[in-house]
Amino acid sequence: MPRKTALITGVTGQDGSYLTDFLIKKGYKIIGVKRRSSSFNTKRIDHIYNDIKQSKNFIPYYGDLTDSSNILRIIQSTKPDEIYNLGAQSHVHTSFEIPEYSANADALGTLRILEAIRVLKLQKKTKFYQASTSEIFGNTEIPQNERTPFRPRSPYAISKLYAYWTTVNYREAYDIFAVNGILFNHEGPRRGETFVSRKITRAVSEIYRKKRKFFTLGNLNAKRDWGSAKDYVESMWLMLKAKTPSDYVISTGKSYSVKKFVEEAFKYINIKISWKGKGLKEIGVNKKTGEVYVRVDPVYFRPTDVDELRGDSSKARRELKWRPKTTFQELVSEMMKSDLKEIK
């Protein structure tokens, strides 16, 4: 059988790099779309470039989701079997600062790829995966599944909702095998340092290594359904292997607060945290010594935040036979282990 080719946008990101590792092991050739940047942005995929065997399976292209001519040309010259659209301005808080750019990359970027598939008449050949998100649910019923109404609460979530419906519409209107993976938060050692999970594991590691005394966070009470990115990229591939295209929630089914994440990270270095005070005065202290390790800084508050995301992934478990393999405790331990190694 000829080898399958997969085009991945956002290949330099957390999920893009884990998906590349996963698909290369499955025998795929990867067309990796990366942005030009003024400094190196390929840290997460350098292990592929540097491995002679693996690098043969990886073809890099410069590309940007905001440039339709570029998207069209890459798809025209590579005609991939599968496209995974993981590229995005993915930071929710930042999307309030750059709403128009977020919409251009996240909403219109998705449209540009689907239009390219249509214009190039690749409907019968190319399957399309859209990186949708639990953020599209906003503050709504708990747990959330594929039938839960959407109430997005950020420019990021609104852009992703446009992309969600565009994917559904191109599936229905043009018979493209196009799916939305509605993934809940997923993390790992390669997570970007400004997302709360990695910010916490890095800061706790720095406290352990005596490089800092405390760190600041925003909304301590938000709850998220945190899973492992490595587990979640498998679901993307499974969705494109299904008989018929459909949209799937991918989640663990358990949610924990930001505070609980902090406690779990400190537990890894044998420190118990207790919380004192309220609102902006709330602090996280070392139960034994009284040292203050966590403070609140309103700079991290969002104009509108989502209180709790907890997913019901029974459809994916039933139809795709997918399930998460990593517990919350194992995830935090894996991230702490990696950051303690990195921060010497």
Q: Which positions are catalytic?
A: 133, 135, 156
Residue 154 interacts with ligand NAP (CB under 6 A): yes or no: no
> What residue ranges bind ligand GDD (CB under 6 A)?
90, 92-93, 133-135, 184-185, 194-197, 199, 217-219, 222, 224, 258, 300, 302, 305, 309
Alpha-carbon distance 45 to 38, whole Å? 17
Give the footprint of ligand NAP on residues 243-282 (CB under 6 A): none
CB-hemisphere CA count at 13 Å for 46? Answer: 6
Q: How far is the CB of 2 from ligand GDD (least distance, A)?
A: 34
- By beta-carbon proximity to ligand NAP, the closer residue of 15 and 208 is 15
Q: Which of 176, 198, 210, 239 has the alpha carbon at shortest distance from 336?
A: 198
Residue closer to ligand GDD, measured from CB, 63 or 227: 227
3-state class (DSSP) for residue 329: helix
Choice from 6, 7, 8, 14 touching ligand NAP (CB under 6 A): 14
Helix (H) or strand (E) holding 217, with range, is strand 215-217
Q: Which is nearer to ligand GDD, 83 or 163 (CB)?
A: 163
Pick 185 or 235: Cβ nearer ligand GDD: 185
The option from ligand NAP, ligand GDD, none interacting with 99 (CB < 5 to 8 A, set by class) reads none
- Which candidate, 199, 223, 220, 224, places its Cα nearest to that of 298? 220
What's the chain's Rg over C-alpha atoms? 20
Query: Which residues have C-beta within 8 Å of that of residue 55, sequence separation ≥ 6?
Result: 48, 49
Q: In this structure, which amino acid lies at residue 120?
A: L
Q: Which stretch binds ligand NAP (CB under 6 A): 73-81, 144-152, 183-191, 298-306?
A: 183-191
Stretch binding ligand NAP (CB under 6 A), from 35-43, 50-58, 202-210, 291-299? 35-43
Using CB distances below 5 to 8 A depending on partner kind, what does residue 188 bind out of ligand GDD, ligand NAP, none? none
Q: Does 309 bind ligand NAP (CB under 6 A)?
A: no
Range list of H helices, 46-134: 46-49, 52-55, 68-78, 92-97, 99-102, 109-119
